[in-house]
Amino acid sequence: MDTRYIVAGVLMLAAGHALADGLSGSVAYTDGGGTARPARRITMQIWAANPLGDTLLGEVRTDDSGAWTATVTPPPMTIGYFVRAVAVNDATRVTSGGAAPPYYVDVGGAPLGGGAIPATTIDTAGPNAARAFAVADALQTGWLYGSAMRGAAPARVNTTFPETGAGTASFYNSATGLHIRQWRRYAWDVLTHEYSHYLADIDTLDANPGGPHAFGVSNITPGPGGKLNGVRLAWGEALATYNGTAAQAVSAHPPSPTTGDTVYTSLNTDTPASTFEVNLDTHAGDGTTGVNAGEGDETSVMRILWDLADGTGGSEPHDRVTLGHASLYSMIDNDIPGIDQLNGLWNHLITRPGATDALRVDYGAIFEEYGVSPHPIGDLIDDALMDSDPAPTFEWVRRNDSANDSFGLIVFDAALSTRLLDITIPGDVTSYTLTAGQWDTLNNHLGAARFIIRGSDTDQYATGSYWSDAYGFTIIPVPGAAPLAALAVLLGAARRRRT
């Protein structure tokens, strides 16, 4: 024991030291690159060092810069103060599991009379008690997102770190909270993904059955319940990845190379060779097989969610929708009771008040881009037909992991304001030729037209009908059957669409 503190303490107490003392400091932690980041909103405990027994005098929280201040009144015989940073913030309390107390790190002390404690940086390359602060800060960003999206702060959730049970995955359990593997301590995308499973649980945003899953693979399997479990698993995992990525896009957080972008990065710290990346906003990371496999594939679903929410961009002609992250969260949370799969979102989008055919086409363009809706193909697209030509044939690729098996065709005017034909196509086919009567109806409307193919998967139970984007063609009169000026306008329009 340092007798200087004892002497100082006795002298100050003898002089009547019952005054409150002020203390202050700041705390940071090191990220995966060794850069110091503020330890936001963590708990700071102020203890009185006392030969009669150390006493907890109070707790305060750091602010978003990691700074803190405290005012305490020392009990008799206090000889000084020491301060602990505790891995508890708004989002979580990080422990070794079960009923264990939260991790903590002693960050400094001050003599009786208080004062400023030198700024402390917790080296998270060290023991688990230190590493816990990197985990806590990532989850704080998830909490900020949840608070903003829900309009109310989520309750604090427990985090077990490191999870050492069988298997290799980090996961969320509704009874025990978050479970994070050692090698994911800097993987913000994984951490905010798991926190988003917590949000989905408390807000009933999914009915995730759990189980193995991977990007680019349909989770739908043959047999009873295979489709329902598959689309529910894809929805639950995709929603967590989407929300975890959106959390970093809209909530304040310290920047780093793997946060705040649209790339999901596994960032396996202990075995870097297994780190992989998949982009929510582009096809980057698709690899070569099985990607965007439809409503049973979390890759397809998470990209659809992202494009529905984010802003439109000129580099993505299929993305003409901007719902916004808050509006999409509210829609899923409040407007679609019991949502458990992508089909529930699609049905809501196309039937909600204000949904026009033009909007349905815009939604369909996104669903087609990521392999859920049928994909129109063939020479008809951007072609010019004479009204005396044989009835045209429409062609498409099934998509939805080749599972779409029931189709329809809608032909519109150029403005998508009038349905010229709305046909339920007979049979499980990938092409359809208009009947003579349908062609007569259509070629009474000379000029530009657009069409979509809608597709459903009716195996086990029906999902869809998912619309494609709209594709154009032009109907022109037989030469001499219309004024030359009108014919020139029609031909010019057709040429412009084909270039």
pLDDT reported for residue 18: 57
Residue 309 lies in a domain: yes
Quote the tokens at residue 226: 């295979």
Residue 140 lies in a domain: no
Residue 345 lies in a domain: no
Q: Is 5 exposed, middle or buried (0-12, 13-18, 19+ CB in 10 A)?
A: middle
Residue 355 lies in a domain: no
DSSP per position, 29-73: EE-TTS-EEE-TT-EEEEEEE-TT--EEEEEEE--TTSEEEEEE-
pTM over 0.75: yes
Q: Is 230 exposed, middle or buried (0-12, 13-18, 19+ CB in 10 A)?
A: buried
Query: Cβ distance 49 to 3 under 8 Å?
Result: no
pLDDT reported for residue 20: 95
Q: Is 30 exposed, middle or buried (0-12, 13-18, 19+ CB in 10 A)?
A: buried
Give the Cβ contact number of residue 235 at 10 Å: 30
Q: Residues 186, 246: one domain? A: yes
d(CA 380, CA 17): 91
d(CA 116, CA 63): 16
pLDDT reported for residue 314: 63
The domain tally of the chain equals 3
Check residue 350 and give left, alpha or beta (phi > 0: left; psi -120 to 50: alpha).
Answer: alpha
Q: Residues 173, 306: one domain? A: yes
Q: Last residue of some domain: 317, 340, 363?
A: 340
Q: Residues 172, 321: one domain? A: yes
Residue 221 lies in a domain: yes
Range of the domain at 401: 373-498
Q: Residues 230, 296: one domain? A: yes
Q: Give all strands (DSSP E) within 215-328, no chain letters.
A: 263-265, 277-279
pLDDT reported for residue 410: 98
What is the per-residue pLDDT across 305-322, written as a single tens digit (0 to 9) for each? 999 999 876 678 999 999
Q: How far is CA 454 from CA 144, 232, 295, 463, in A?
A: 39, 22, 15, 11
Query: Cβ distance 379 to 392 under 8 Å?
Result: no
Instruction: List beta partners, residue 80.
Output: 49, 111
Q: Residues 319, 231: one domain? A: yes
Q: What does the angle CA 161 – CA 165 – CA 166 come to, to the nearest 5 degrees? A: 145
What is the per-residue pLDDT across 235-288, written as a single tens digit (0 to 9) for each? 999 999 999 999 999 997 777 667 778 999 988 888 767 788 999 998 988 865
pLDDT reported for residue 257: 61
pLDDT reported for residue 262: 92
Q: Residues 111, 221: one domain? A: no
pLDDT reported for residue 484: 43
Residue 346 lies in a domain: no
pLDDT reported for residue 16: 46
d(CA 259, CA 416): 40
Residue 365 lies in a domain: no
pLDDT reported for residue 1: 36
Query: Cβ distance 378 to 393 under 8 Å?
Result: yes
What is the distance, to the nearest Å, from the Cα of residue 169 to the centroid of all Cα atoms in its chain?
Answer: 18
- Which residues of the chain are modeled with pLDDT < 50? 1-16, 483-491, 493-499
At position 330, the amino acid (one-letter code) is: S
Q: What is the CATH number of the domain that holds 493?
A: 2.60.40.1220
Q: Residues 248, 317: one domain? A: yes
pLDDT reported for residue 367: 98
Q: Residues 277, 409: one domain? A: no
Exposure class string for 259-273: b at 16+ Cβ within 10 A, else e: bbbbbbbbbbbeeee
DSSP per position, 239-253: HHHHHHHHHHHHS--
Q: Residues 209, 124: one domain? A: no
Q: Residues 336, 377: one domain? A: no
Residue 419 lies in a domain: yes
Q: Residues 206, 331: one domain? A: yes
Q: Last residue of some domain: 319, 340, 361?
A: 340
d(CA 200, CA 198): 5
User: In degrees to the nearest 10, what's the CA dihedral of 339, 344, 346, 349?
Assistant: -60
Q: Residues 196, 110: one domain? A: no
